[in-house]
Amino acid sequence: MTDELDFPAPPEPGVLLRVATIGAATGALAGGLEGLGLVLRAKIVLGAGSAMSLAGATVVMGLGLGLVVGLVAGAVAAAPGRRVAHWKRLRAGCTLTVLLLALFFLVPLARELWVVQERRAPAMGMIALATVIASTFWFNAGYWFRRESIGAGPVVGWRVYATAAGFALALLAGLFGGPPDGPTRAAPESAQNVVLVTIDTLRRDHVGAYGSVANTPVLDKLAREGVLYEDAITPVPETAPSHASMLTGRHPVEHKVIANGIPLKNGYLTVTEQLGIIGYRTGAFVSSFAAGSTTGLDQGFQVYDDEFSPFVRGIARARVARLLLPILLRFGDPAAYPWLLERGAPDTIDRALSWIEGGEGAFFAWVHLFEPHAPYEARAGGPGGGATVDHRAILAQEPGYPYTAEEEAALRDLYRQEVEYTDAQVGVLLEGLRARGALENTLVLVVADHGESLGEHGIKFNHHGLYEEVVRVPLIAWTPAPSWTPGTRVARQVSVMDVANTLLEFAGIPLIAGTQSVPLLSLARGADVPARPVLLLGRTTASLRDGQLYGVRAPTGAKYIEGADSAELYELTTDPGELDDISASQPAAVESGHASVTTLRGQVGPAEVPESEMLKALGYHE
């Protein structure tokens, strides 16, 4: 019998080119499957055209990825060495390509199942599936390539069929475009609407109702007609942890989101799920990557619109995009691509209003506005002269940028402009709700996730540390027919953790049990509920590698902050600016604070947060 190695290879492109083109076709098919899957699982509203555009884009990206992977695998297969049959080199190169593509698409799914959903068996099944796909391709490729090598006919046109199938799937995706599925049951006719407006990085002292340096007529009017909480605290001055506490009613050490970059895991009941159970429509419209679906905050939402791309809606969810975006931010200029990280309030509000108008029944809408967060930008009505500051360019040089006095003054003014612009946008949202008849029987709760340091305590234009500028936030509740005296001000210390059960209290459904969340509307009506100390957790600097801070803020006004080699104690009732550290003269209070912090430190453990170029571009350095 003639040795198979003696069969001459037919005149055709070399191994490298053949494997690369087969890889491109396979990538196109994988991209079509991914695109269809993205459309089917989408929590953003996609019409038929948008769905086809998204799936078509994933096909093109998959094709490009497959070409690159095929070139690499083909180069390995074609490498000089011992004599190997031509058909075997083709089989090895193509199988390696398919395996790498399968792992590229399936490993992230496995990681999500393992880390976020804690479903170990399905996660392992995803990895096993990649092996099965590659093994199946190995045996089939061996059969067809060997037939070709002995002159039994050319290989079936996989490149044509796979590519065509990928684009056919993109067309098919258009049939599934449309709004995500609504609630499986209708909310009771008596159900009242709930609107949660969170303003990222809004300082308490920049809201007029608190005695402000900014002009905020919309928020001030809400405070005059509603209830204002004078002493609201966030336990962690970061976007994802604070919002996770609002939605779960739990402290970050309970829900484990102690820093941006750590996703909220399944298993923690959210206010969204509670409202969805009784038939509320639930939609979230967020304005920053820091609050995007990768944080796990989308848990329970039927619609979660965190799409910032001005080109193809949903494209950021594609695996290739998730690979390329951090690279672009790492080696490119983040200032040139602001839409990768955030979107403006008008777009977010427009999408929220469109969703509210497009459905029936009671709804819960979360609208997240990002303008006060760095980078600060000039807004209409700002000063006509003075220094021009490009805050995005400065952030690209952080940490350690040497601010001049003129730049600091200009940035403070830009921050004020951002706050005033955001206040006006809240007005647009409220008027839009009013015009649609959606303010009747509605609670509007406005709260910040954290504040911002504008130079106090040597912290410039960031929100690390645990001083009052970043942990004390504005909190206002409003409804057209309040059950309390309009203009009520509650002096008692409260927390963003109280948001969850406050929303549920208004909706008249069971509260989330076993949490620290206090229904705040009862306080406005005069209920006597003792305040609790709030445990605080933060960063020493913008980078977690420089260490964490721990603290406790007592309802009496005492506040203790502890770092790796520091301890500070303040009496806020007489020293609201935290200028006089009295730790040396109050050893008993320091000992008590240290005991609380020691417990907190033990619950937190070491912070392990993955690096993220997206978060770095927003000023967070893990």
Instruction: Specify the pLDDT at position 158.
Output: 85
Beta strand 281-285 with 303-305: parallel, antiparallel or unpaired?
parallel
Structure tokens given for 386 = 């003075």
Mean pLDDT, residues 505-524: 94
Is the pLDDT reported for residue 621 higher than 80?
Answer: no
**pLDDT recorded at residue 609:** 59
Q: Stretch 180-201: mean pLDDT, rounded?
A: 91
What's the confidence (pLDDT) of residue 193? 97
Q: Report residue 611's pLDDT band, with 50, 70 and 90 as the boundaries.
A: low
CA-based nearest residue to 590, from 551, 538, 534: 551
What does the mean pLDDT of the chain come to?
89
**Residue extents of the structural domains in the chain:** 4-176, 193-308+343-529
pLDDT score for 4: 42
Lowest mean pLDDT among 3-7, 127-131, 367-371: 3-7
DSSP 8-state code for residue 480: S
H or E element that contains 65: helix 48-77
Q: Which residue has the higher pLDDT, 245 or 142?
A: 245
Q: Are 183 and 276 in contact (CB under 8 A)?
A: yes
pTM of the model: 0.90
What is the 8-class DSSP label of residue 447? Answer: E
Place of tokens 């427009």: 350
Cα 499 to Cα 509: distance, rounded to the nearest angstrom: 14
β 460-462/472-473 pair status:
unpaired
Four-residue CA torsion sign, 291, 292, 296, 298: positive
Which structure tokens are listed for 476?
């206002």
The three-state secondary structure class of 103 is helix
Q: What is the DSSP letter of 583?
A: G
Residue 542 has pLDDT above 90, yes or no: no
Classify domain 193-308+343-529 at the CATH superfamily level: Alkaline Phosphatase, subunit A (3.40.720.10)
Residues 571-581: tens digit of each pLDDT: 999 999 999 99
- 152 — pLDDT class (breaks 50, 70, 90): confident
The answer on pLDDT for 387 being more than 70 is no
Read off the pLDDT band of 10 (50, 70, 90).
very low
For residue 12, what pLDDT is reported? 41
Say which residues have a Cβ less than 8 Å from residue 66's Cβ, sequence separation at least 6. Answer: 23, 24, 25, 26, 27, 28, 30, 97, 101
Average pLDDT over residues 72-82: 85
Report residue 334's pLDDT band, with 50, 70 and 90 as the boundaries: low
Which residues, other chains included, contact 149 with Cβ-Cβ below 8 Å and sequence gap of 6+?
A: 4, 7, 9, 10, 85, 86, 87
Looking at the predicted structure, is the pLDDT value of residue 619 above 90? no
Q: Which of 433, 436, 463 is nearest to 451 (CA)?
A: 463
Range scoring the smallest mean pLDDT among 322-336, 410-424, 559-573: 322-336
Q: pLDDT band at residue 143, thresholds of 50, 70 and 90?
A: confident
* Spatial distance between the Cα atoms of 619 and 464, rounded to a whole number of angstroms: 10
In order of 255, 390, 497, 503, the CA distances from 520 in angstroms are 21, 41, 10, 9
* Type and span of the H or E element at 114: none
Task: For residue 205, give both structure tokens.
Answer: 């002292």
Q: Tell me the per-residue pLDDT of 389-418, one tens digit each, with 9 for 90 and over.
A: 888 888 877 777 889 999 999 999 999 999
- Work out the pLDDT band at 309, boundaries 50, 70, 90: confident
- Return the SS3 of 281: strand
**pLDDT, greater one: 113 or 134:** 134
Residue (of 298, 315, 318) closest to 43 by Cα position: 298
In tens, the pLDDT along 419-462 reads 999 999 999 999 999 999 999 999 999 999 999 999 999 999 99
